[in-house]
């Protein structure tokens, strides 16, 4: 499976139950592009979390935590529409022990990816939100 945006490989993952209510799409899984980091819903995710390091080393080793952050990326892409949900998902990530803003900093600094969204700008907006 490849990314509809840039044609690069994607990783598929199940949506963690802790954030499923916060997403605009109710499908059980999503795919994350390993290059442009676009997230798209999928009907048929795997049972287990993939190795998100295939996309970026900025993701934590714990698969569920990484999946929560991937969901956050989906929301910050359209932050104006999804402020409350992005705030809620960032809160879940923080309860998993993640510094969300530090994660976005690392992602913005990772030269192995070319994010479709301006991660630094979204980080600034999210910092004002949370």
Binding site for Zn ion (CB under 5 A): 3, 5-6, 8, 33, 35-36, 38
Give least dist CB 10 to Zn ion, A.
7
Q: Which is nearer to Zn ion, 88 or 122 (CB)?
A: 122
Give least dist CB 37 to Zn ion, A.
7
Give least dist CB 89 to Zn ion, A.
21
Q: Which is nearer to Zn ion, 23 or 113 (CB)?
A: 113
Nearest to 42 by CA among 70, 20, 14: 14
Q: Name the phi and psi angles at 122, rounded to 5.
A: -65, -35
Nearest to 17 by CA among 73, 58, 68, 74: 68
Q: Name the phi and psi angles at 2, rounded to 5.
A: -125, 165
Contact assessment for residue 19 and residue 84, using Cβ atoms and an 8 Å cutoff: no
Q: Which is nearer to Zn ion, 35 or 56 (CB)?
A: 35
């Amino acid at each position: 499976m490849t990314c509809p945006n840039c044609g690069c490989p994607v990783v598929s993952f199940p949506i963690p139950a802790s954030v499923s209510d916060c997403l605009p799409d109710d499908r059980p899984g999503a795919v994350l592009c390993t290059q442009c980091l676009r997230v798209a819903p999928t009907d048929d995710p795997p049972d287990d979390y993939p190795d998100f390091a295939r996309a970026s080393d900025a993701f934590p080793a714990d698969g569920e935590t990484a999946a929560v952050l991937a969901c956050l990326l989906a929301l910050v892409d359209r932050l104006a529409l999804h402020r409350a949900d992005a705030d809620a998902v960032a809160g879940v990530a923080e309860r998993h022990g993640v510094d969300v803003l530090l994660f976005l900093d690392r992602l913005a600094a990772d030269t192995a990816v070319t994010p479709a969204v301006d991660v630094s700008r979204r980080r600034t907006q999210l910092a004002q939100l949370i």
